[in-house]
Chains A and B, each alone.
Chain A
Amino acid sequence: MIPTLQPASASMRRTLPGGFPMQLILGFLLILWIVLPMAPVFLWSIAGQWRAPAVLPSSYSLQGFSALITPDTARAAASSLSLGFGVAMIATPLGYLGAVAVRGLPAVPGRAVEFVLLAPLAIPPFALVMGSNVALLRLYVSPTFGVILVLVVTALPYTAFMFRSALASYDQRFEEVARSLGASPGQAARTVRYPLLASAAARAFFLAFLVGWGDYIATLLIGGGQLRTLPMLLGSAASATGNEQLTAALSLTIIVPPLILLAGLTLPARVRGRQ
């Protein structure tokens, strides 16, 4: 006898109870969860004076931001940008190659490569840095290159994972169609595969950039003080007392470039999608 299908119980429903209003409320709460911790940072960055137990600053000033306009900060920002782009530009193609290897290999060796690619996630950054620092020193690797090298290892799981997900849903037959339409393997890759994987590449690039841009531990230990980045400045400012405005302004300054990069990478794709 064929069993009759029972109506779905509340626990089986895939949609949230409460419908659209509940989705709206949860969405709003999610935004609050992300934005709310930023509110004190923002207030501190423009606070002239803010003493406990006052809820808001008693006066406002842009002194924190104006204190940032120094050659030292500009050099640190340039170093951070170089580190972010350097890591992203190496880790993104490496992640792609790793993901292609995982896809192309039979199941068991493929999983082994996947394990190797994801292994850095399981290693605490401090342990990774301390382990590699000695080797880098013995090999006379320059601090900047050493930091990039270590951070590429840290960024690789993210970029490989991004491409792995993208390749899983990528239909290889697009390239076969392109080949039967007269495209050489190189043309098929340039005109079909890369454009179709562009959004995954952008996400991978962004994540790798963040690894380099926001790093503190590797820059401190391997850079050995020679490499001054924005997180290093932030660390110095935060460790001293009475620097709350400068620390908050520096924090916001560190947040803005990744947001601009994220917008630059994602918004054009969304506009194209709508068109």
Chain B
Amino acid sequence: MSSSLEFASISRSFGNTEVLHQVSLTVEPSCCVALLGASGSGKSTLLRIAAGLDQSSSGQVLVDGENVNGVPSEQRGIALVFQKPLLFPHLTVVDNVAFSARMAGQSRKAARQHAMSYLELVHLSAVAHRSPGRLSGGQEQRVALARALARNPRILLLDEPFSSLDSRLREDMHLLVEDIRTELAPTIVLVTHDRREASALADSIAVLDNGRILQHGPVAQLHYQPATLAVNRILGGLNAVPGELIGDVHHSALGRIAVQPGLVNGPAFLTVRQEAIRIVAPGDGTATGCVTALKSLGAHTLVHIALSGESGPSETLTVEVPGDPGVAVGRSIGLRPTDGCGWAVTR
């Protein structure tokens, strides 16, 4: 059973410091929303408020439209998985997973039977009778996930649960979350500072910065249509070219690029993803520039370019290309946005 979760104007202050400011966000049943933000942006506090482990200074948390402010954590039907697995060291793996059933008054035998099906879901039934101290980091996090799911929560909250795992284990865990979503379809709120993880797991991303939600939308929208420069930066966008907006066309050192309609004429930044610019021969693109540096990312390379303005080099731009870019530092090149249009922001 999955439920909707809604934060309605949630604020939280610690002394004079406001950690969350009027945060409003809706998570539909069976959907996965990633709360993306830097450390200290307030995303974990928001999760703790949803779980009932912290109280908001103002605002409401609604589950299926019902205000759960003041409802004790254990009665909310919301399970939380922390960054640390926090498996109870005095219980075996199966008893950890059986914990919620035991708290609900089930017999030890029935609780363990229930737990075993969730351990099978995370492919760890073979280690059911081990002590948590004898598990690897990835296994511990799988058990923590199984333990939370065994609660049959209406909503599952994941607070950076995979950030301490290495990249391969993290990918395994992403696959596991996909399996869980297919099988159980829980409503998930995932807190992460990793935009790739947010993009891989979530249906939509809410960007949180300094306690405010800057933008909430589908993954592609946040990458290619950021609401602000901060969203562009948090989503890993490396380019924000200053220029002038005149009649839905952005004029800058990158040339004249058509942007979304509806903006007021005046100064604006063109946010164009580094993956969405193609290097072409000088004269074939909307702008020309000189390669200033190359940075290998393994299978991809970042090419840093100084754009040529009317009075010499003005702005820098970064382009990400697969494999060898085929250009050298100091070489003059042409640049062209892949789809011929861009996205402008004014702040």
Contacts and interface: CB of A to CB of B under 8 A. Distances in A.
B88 A180 contact: no
B74 interface: yes
A176 B52 CA distance: 9
A182 B151 contact: yes
B99 A180 contact: no
Interface in A216-248: none
Contacts of A173: 82, 84, 86
Contacts of A174: 86, 88
A76 interface: no
A185 to B, nearest CB: 8
A179 B73 contact: yes
Contact of A177 (B52, B76, B82): B82
B53 A181 contact: no
Interface in B100-117: 100, 102-104
A183 B74 contact: yes
Interface in A174-203: 174, 176-184, 187, 191-192, 195-196, 198
Contact of B53 (A176, A192, A198): A176
A273 to B, nearest CB: 8
B305 to A, nearest CB: 31
Nearest to B100: A181
> Per DSSP, are chain A's interface residues mostly helix, strand or loop, or mixed?
helix
A240 B89 CA distance: 54
A183 B90 CA distance: 16
Interface residues of B, number: 26
Given A171-B86, A173-B86, A180 B131 contact: no
B90 A180 contact: no
Contact of A180 (B74, B84, B89, B102): B74
A275 interface: yes
Interface string A49-70: 0000000000000000000000
Interface in B45-93: 51-53, 72-74, 76, 78-80, 82, 84, 86, 88-90
Given A182-B151, A192-B88, A177 B104 contact: no
Contacts of A183: 74, 99, 103
A181 B151 contact: yes
Interface string A150-181: 00000000000000000000010110111111
B80 A177 contact: yes
Contacts of B73: 176, 179-180
A181 B79 contact: yes
Contacts of A176: 51, 53, 73, 80
Contacts of A196: 88-90
Given A176-B53, A196-B90, A275-B131, A181 B84 contact: no
Nearest to B88: A192
Contact of B103 (A181, A195, A198, A275): A181
A196 B102 CA distance: 18
Pick from B53, B89, B131 the residue with the most CB of A within 10 Å.
Answer: B53
B53 A179 contact: yes
Pick from A182, A187, A192 the residue with the most CB of B within 10 Å.
Answer: A182
Contacts of B100: 181-182
B148 interface: yes
B82 A178 contact: no
Nearest to A176: B53
Nearest to B76: A180
Interface string B16-41: 00000000000000000000000000
A177 B47 CA distance: 13
A178 to B, nearest CB: 7
Contacts of A187: 103
Contacts of B102: 191
A101 B103 CA distance: 28
A174 B147 CA distance: 13
Contacts of A180: 51-53, 73-74, 76, 78-80, 148, 151, 157
Contacts of A192: 88
B74 A179 contact: yes
Contacts of B84: 171, 173
B104 A182 contact: yes
A55 to B, nearest CB: 50
6 contacts: A178-B99, A178-B103, A179-B74, A181-B103, A182-B103, A196-B90
CB-CB nearest 4 A-B residue pairs? A179-B73, A181-B100, A182-B103, A180-B80
Interface of A: 171, 173-174, 176-184, 187, 191-192, 195-196, 198, 272, 275
Given A177-B80, A181-B100, 14 more contacts: A173-B84, A174-B88, A176-B73, A176-B80, A177-B82, A179-B72, A179-B73, A180-B78, A180-B151, A182-B100, A183-B99, A191-B103, A195-B88, A275-B131
